[in-house]
Each structure stands twice: as structure tokens, then as C-alpha cells.
A and B are shown apart, each in its own frame.
Chain A
Amino acid sequence: MVNLKINDKEIIVAEGTRLLDAIKMAGTDLPTLCNHPDLEPYGGCRLCSVEVSRNGKSWVTTACNTLVEEGLTVQTESDRAVSTRALMADLILSRTPNVPAVQRIASSLGVDEPRFATTNPEETCVLCGLCIRACHDVAKKEVLGFVERGPDRQVTMAFETYDAQACDDCNQCITYCPTGAITRLKGLPIGRKWYAHAKKWARTRQAVQYGLLAFFALLFVTTSQALQLPINISNLFSRLDPLQAIMANIAARELLPLYLPAMLTLIATILFGRVWCGWVCPLGAILQLFGPVGTRKMQSWFRMIKYGLLIVLFVMALFGSLAFMWLDPITILVRGVADPIGVILGIIEMPGFKVGTLFSMVMLVLVLGLNLIEKRFWCRYLCPLGALLGLGSKFDWIRRRVNEMSCVQCGDCVKTCPMGAINPETIQNDPAECVMCLDCADAPCPKTAITYGRQPTPRWNHEFDPGRREFIGGTATAAAGVVLLNSGLFQDKANDLIRPPGVISEKAFLDKCIRCDQCVQACATHALHPVTFGSTWDAFWTPAINGELGYCDYNCNRCGQVCPAGAIPALPLEAKRKQVMGVAVLAPSLCVNCMVCEKVCQLKAIDRIEIQKEGKLKPLPVVDPNKCNGCGQCEYKCPAPPAIKVYAPGKAPKRT
């Protein structure tokens, strides 16, 4: 054993102990760049310089390659030691001013800004030689080496060319590199296999994500063009959406078999985290396309909003209301394009309707706009579906893993994360915030430290865990909302909406309708439109027939086919024709006696009588309320509107 004095503390250590370790035992941790416990000391970075003295002589030396000696006195904080370390840190920082690992060490030694000239601000290599020693001593290879000298020194391979025979891509050099410079060496594809693998997965994700977005667009086209698909999958994305599934099932108080596919998404989430968001969600795919990436501009409580919204939706569903399901991302996207496309295509021309129709884009526009602040702003802070899947992700099986032995906290992955999910300090991420896009494991990680695999990390205790506050707050808000909204304060006027065919009970309809407005999109005659203002609050953005814009086609039952929740029953054409949506009522004073209504009524619900008008005998249509189903064709085709008009059942005015 050896006795020595470190910073006035007597300590006894085993012979052969390195001074650096002894200093650590004495309670002082000196930062180093070129030292690694696995490798022989090198003495290159000089950051562990300390002042030692013996027999009245004192000198400065590096602790890493000095062995303890009997009677040695060590001062880590003497003026000489401190100023030597500070200068070394300053010099290294001046060489590599933008390397976080160096910045941190320099800052710990009191150097925050480099004092000296920087030759190349892009420089990341500190020439510590760890890669070379790892190559020689750990991997037992002779691939890497320094060439040139003095300021021109650099790490390279023989002839600066990659020799596959010498290098077997063991990547030990990458593991030991303290800055990640090793994979950025010019012309040397170090880590190439790892990157090829990572790139393959990142590309796969992109292919799937944008493929599905294209598929979504295809479904949109087929739906709006009323093209018959071999199987009915036009509402596939909604049916895969667990938020819709859960809320609709709860609110409807019944099992909705249409939503069974959502189970797949839930299972995928338990296995792989928020893959829905990163790989499947068409809104997510669009949001992935633009916006500032890798930032964390908003305060961390913003991340709780989505949990709050989820709880609001949940509590309201418990109350039997789906009134705010227009916050679901699929509904936002579908609704944002379903009706407005009619305006864009010139189908909807009436000014008043235009505004109402375009108003259904507001959520989409808002979400896209927020994306300009930060990429996937919606997904990070607001999306209740994301919150739901995030909760599931906390239990996932495969998740992002950072090899802490290798990671040097360079933060390059942080900069690529579309979700801002990676903590810039720890480089770890909350699995609830990660959308498994795999972008961070692609080119950005210079240390090939990011993998995706089984990870025994805790289920909870992540950066953005929702707490009791969010739960109670969300519940209270939701309850208050339901009470307030049901108080009648916001009841505008009596419900006189003409619902799509097959809807019998307004209440049952609202309990199931998830406000996706896919029926609007499917409606061949553009009769269905989302309800905006001027109706009850809980009818907001639910579909209703607008007789002035269209009518329910006798030969169409698509709204029922596309409704994911079964709020509009999927009826065969025969059955659908018999569904009563309302009743047509004639205003004889306005009638021009053209009898178009009689001609167009496929149910033969319009008869005619002869009346005397302006001295002539003219025919007058007469609606048979028992035959009329309120399809509105008569109203739409009437040349003198509103001579004949459809009213919701029981809402028809008394005939005058």
C-alpha cells in the first residue's frame, strides 16, 4: 500500500494505482478527454494536470499516467494546476468550439468562451487517440493511425482509403471516440454497416409513412368519387384509430364491431410505442414534412395539454358525449379536406355556405400553422390520440435505446427529432413522446449509440409523465363543460337538423358520431355538410343534409358505408330508401306549378291536384307524408325555392 496526500487529505491506496484514480478516491473528479479505463493512459489532452511535490520539489504532471508514489503530495487546485487545466481546456475548446462534450468540460474548468482563434469551426476531432488505441488494443487491429504532425495531425487509415480487409467494421473506435468525430472523417466510411442498417430502417419508415399517406389520399379520392372498392375500407384510418374506438364505444355504451381494427394499433403500440404516429397517421405524415425540427421552444407543461384533452374526451364519453371528437387527428384531416374540396372544385358556390364549409378547415389550418412554430407541434402538445398512444408507449416492448457507454451527449440526435422528444442534457427520451420515426438513429448519431430494441427501462418516471394534476384538472374541466353546456346556455335553437339516412334517434346518433365527416366526403350529391353554428353545441361539426346544396340520392347509400362508428347505419340500398330523414312541405303561394318535384320524386310521394290560378287551371303538387322520406330531391330541383322544403321529422310547420 502507498500513502500519499491529496489536497491535504491523507489517503492509502494500492500500489500501482493511477494518480487519477487516487484523486477520485479522495473525492475530486478531474475531467479528461483522452483517458479511458479500458485503455492505456496516453497523456494527450493534459486536462488532468495536477501539481505534485516530493522532497521539496514540485512539478505539474498529468494524473492519468502517473502512478502513486509513497510520500507524494498532490494539489489539484493549486494555481499552477488550475491555470494549466484551464489553458488546456481553452485550447481544446478553441479547436473544437462547437463540440458539446468539449464545451461541458471547458465550462467545468471555468472556460465558457474560447479565447483563441478557431481554424475550422466544424472541427470535432480533439486528437485524443482513443479511437486508435481502441483499434489497436481493444479490437486488436491496425487500421487507424495519426498522420502528419503538429497542427496538421489527423486520424486516418493507410493511404486515407478504407480497406475492408484491414477493418472488419467492429466499430470499437466509434465506441471510444469522445466527440463522435470518428464517423465524420473525410473519405472514411467508418460505421458504414451500422449506418446502412439505420438508413434502411429510416427509409422503410418513410416508405411506409408516405405510402400510407398516399393510400389515404387514394381512399379519399375513391370515397369522394363514390368509386366502389372491392372491400369497404374507405374508413380504414378511422377504424384503426383507438381514440375514436374507445370514445365511441364508451359513449355509445355498446360494442361497435367496426372499430375492431383499432385493437391492432393498440397492440402495435404496446409492442413498438407510438408507431401509429410515426408510421401510420396521415396527419402526422403531413406534419413531418415541414416545420422547425429538433427544438424545444415550448415549456414542458405544454406536453400535458394533450393528456388533459384526452381526459376531457374520456370523461365526456363517460357522460355519453362525443362532442369534442373533432379533436381527433383523423377527423381533423378528413373534415379539413372533405367539405372544403367542394368549394375548391367549385361545387359549392353559395357564399353563405362557402364560409361555413371552409370553416371546417379551421382545425387543420391551425394544426398546420402551429407546425411552423415547431415540427409536429400538434403531435407533441395537443393530440389526444397521441396522448392515448403515449400512455401505451410507456409500457412498450421495443423502444429507443441510447448506449450510455458510447453516447457523448453531442446532441446531434436532439436536432433531428421531429418531436423534440430527446432531452438535450441526457439524450434520453420519454417513450410517450417518441414516434419511432428512427430519424435519430440514421445519419445524425456520430457514435452509433442509438438503437431500437428491448429496453428494461421503467414504465414510468420519464420526462413528461402526466400526473394527478392533469387527471384531476381534465376531469374537472370535462365535468364542468358537460354541465355548463347542458345547462341550455349554449342551446341555440331547437334541433331541426336533417340527419343522414338511417339515423333514427338524434341522441343515439350523437353518441356514436365521432365528427369525422367522412360521410360528407362520401355524399355523392353534396347534400351532407358539417353543422357549424346555429345549432346545438353538441351537434357541432356533425353531418346534416342541406337541402339547398343537395339531396339524398335515391341510388346512394355511401354515407352509411363509410361511417366508421355506425352512427349512420350501413344499410342496403333498399332499406336505406325507406329511411325517413324528414318530410317535404309545399308552400303553394310560392309554387310555380311546374311539377318538376313530381317528376323527380322516385318514391312517388308527390301527387298533383288541379287548381285555379290566374284564371287558368294549373297543377299543384301534393306531398304524401307517408310516402315521403325527406330525401330533398324535390326541394333541390325546385326552380322556385323554397316552394317545397324538407323539414326534420316533427319539425314541419303547420300547413297554412
Chain B
Amino acid sequence: MGIELAQVDTIIDKHHADQRALISLLLDIQDQFYFLPQEALERVADKVGVPSVQVYQVARFYKAFSLKPRGKHLLTVCVGTACHVRGGERLVDQLSRVLAVAPGETTDDKLFTLQTVNCLGCCALGPVMVVDGTYYGKMSATKIDKVLSKYRNGEEVADDD
């Protein structure tokens, strides 16, 4: 998979190739490509002057990073305590079953990636699910289909176009 290294370079330059900014830098790369491509990480190691093993370690340690391409839509389910006591676990279970993926995985059709997050800090809305930055508060297992179909249909419409 070829990626635009120039884009990576731009991000590196934005952070002045500063080792201290490694995590912010990788977050920016992830925002750009939706995951961390190996070439990009190698480039970062090279230009920032950090051993590539350190870049790789950081990329594997922090939960925000993904080394695998993700699905078109990112489903983030909050499993913070407040959401948990309000049924967040059931929500994740149900999503896992409906999509046939475990948290952290991407569906076969590459449409959805399911992931969990510890707390989004909007506990009043719990259980919360975020799809591509859109919050769905007070979620329940019954609402899953409705939300998912919205994104599934979006996909179909896009195909028809």
C-alpha cells in the first residue's frame, strides 16, 4: 500500500521533527490516514531521529493508534463505569454479535470498526456510542439496528451514485 510520504513530511515539519511531539505527531498521522502505515512510522523514525523500535512501541502501546487500516465507520462505545452500570457492556456485546467482530476488529466488508473507549466524559448520556464523531447517547441494544442501518444505507446510496 503506497502512501503519500509528502503528507507525512508535512505533519513532521508541523511538529518541527521534535521528539517530544512524537505522540501528537502520530495522532496527526492517524487522523490523516485513519491508521498508522508502516512507511509513515519509518519516515517518522528517520526524520525525528528516534529509533524505529521506539516509534513502533509507542504506536503499539497507546490505544488510540491502529496499525491496521480501519473500517469506513468507526464505532466507539464508551465502557466507562457510568456507561457500564447503565448497560454499556450489553451494548458492546450486542454490537459484537450483530457485526460479528470483537472490539478492536473491523467487519469483513470493511464498513465498521468496533472499538471501546474508557470514558468520553459525557456520563450523563450513558451508555454512549460515537460513530465517526457523532454522539449517540442513551443507547440501548434495540437502537443499534437503527443507527447502523443509517450508515449502511449511506453506503448503499453512495454506491448507487
Contacts and interface: CB of A to CB of B under 8 A. Distances in A.
A109 B52 CA distance: 40
Interface in B60-107: 60-61
Interface string B38-53: 1001000100000111
B61 A157 contact: no
Contacts of B56: 145, 147, 157-159
B51 A147 contact: no
B53 A166 contact: yes
A631 B89 CA distance: 100
A148 B60 contact: yes
A159 B38 CA distance: 8
Interface in A138-182: 142-149, 157-159, 163, 166
A142 B61 contact: no
Contact of B61 (A143, A144, A147, A166): A147
Interface residues of B, number: 12
B57 interface: yes
B120 interface: no
Given A158-B52, A166-B52, A145 B38 contact: no
B51 A166 contact: yes
B90 to A, nearest CB: 24
B55 interface: yes
Contact of A142 (B41, B51, B60): B51
B134 interface: no
B55 A158 contact: yes
B54 interface: yes
A557 to B, nearest CB: 75
Contacts of A143: 53
B53 A149 contact: no
B53 A158 contact: yes
Q: How large is the interface on A (under 10, 10 to 19, 20 to 34, 35 or more residues)?
A: 10 to 19
Contacts of A166: 51-53
A142 B54 CA distance: 8
B61 to A, nearest CB: 6
A307 B38 CA distance: 64
Contacts of B41: 159
B54 to A, nearest CB: 7
Contact of B52 (A146, A147, A148, A163): A163
A314 B57 CA distance: 68
Nearest to B45: A158
Contacts of B45: 158
B65 to A, nearest CB: 11
Contacts of A144: 53
B80 to A, nearest CB: 18
B52 A149 contact: no
Interface in B7-59: 38, 41, 45, 51-57
A282 to B, nearest CB: 51
Nearest to B56: A158
A453 B52 CA distance: 38
B51 A146 contact: no
Contacts of A148: 60-61
Contacts of A159: 38, 41, 52, 56
A135 to B, nearest CB: 9
B57 A147 contact: yes
A167 to B, nearest CB: 10
A37 to B, nearest CB: 25
A586 B38 CA distance: 99
Q: Which of B56, B57, B60 has the most CB of A within 10 A?
A: B60
B35 to A, nearest CB: 14
A144 B54 CA distance: 9
A146 B59 CA distance: 11
Contacts of B38: 159
Nearest to B67: A159
A144 B60 CA distance: 14
A99 B41 CA distance: 36
A142 B61 CA distance: 17
B57 to A, nearest CB: 4
A147 B38 CA distance: 15
A163 B41 CA distance: 15
A127 to B, nearest CB: 14
Nearest to B62: A149
Q: Which of B51, B53, B54, B57 has the most CB of A within 10 A?
A: B53
A145 B57 CA distance: 7
Contacts of B55: 158
A147 B60 CA distance: 6
A148 B56 CA distance: 10
A148 B55 CA distance: 13
Nearest to B50: A142
B79 to A, nearest CB: 15
A279 to B, nearest CB: 43
A146 B57 contact: yes
Contacts of B54: 142, 145
Q: Which of A145, A163, A166 has the most CB of B within 10 A?
A: A145
A581 to B, nearest CB: 82
Contacts of B51: 142, 158, 166
Interface in A363-382: none
Nearest to B55: A158
A163 B56 CA distance: 13
Contacts of A163: 52
5 contacts: A142-B54, A147-B61, A149-B61, A159-B38, A159-B41
10 closest A-B pairs by CB: A142-B51, A147-B60, A158-B52, A158-B56, A158-B53, A145-B53, A145-B57, A148-B60, A142-B53, A147-B57
Interface of A: 142-149, 157-159, 163, 166
Given A145-B56, A147-B57, A148-B61, 14 more contacts: A142-B51, A142-B53, A145-B53, A145-B54, A147-B56, A148-B60, A157-B53, A157-B56, A158-B51, A158-B52, A159-B38, A159-B41, A159-B56, A166-B52
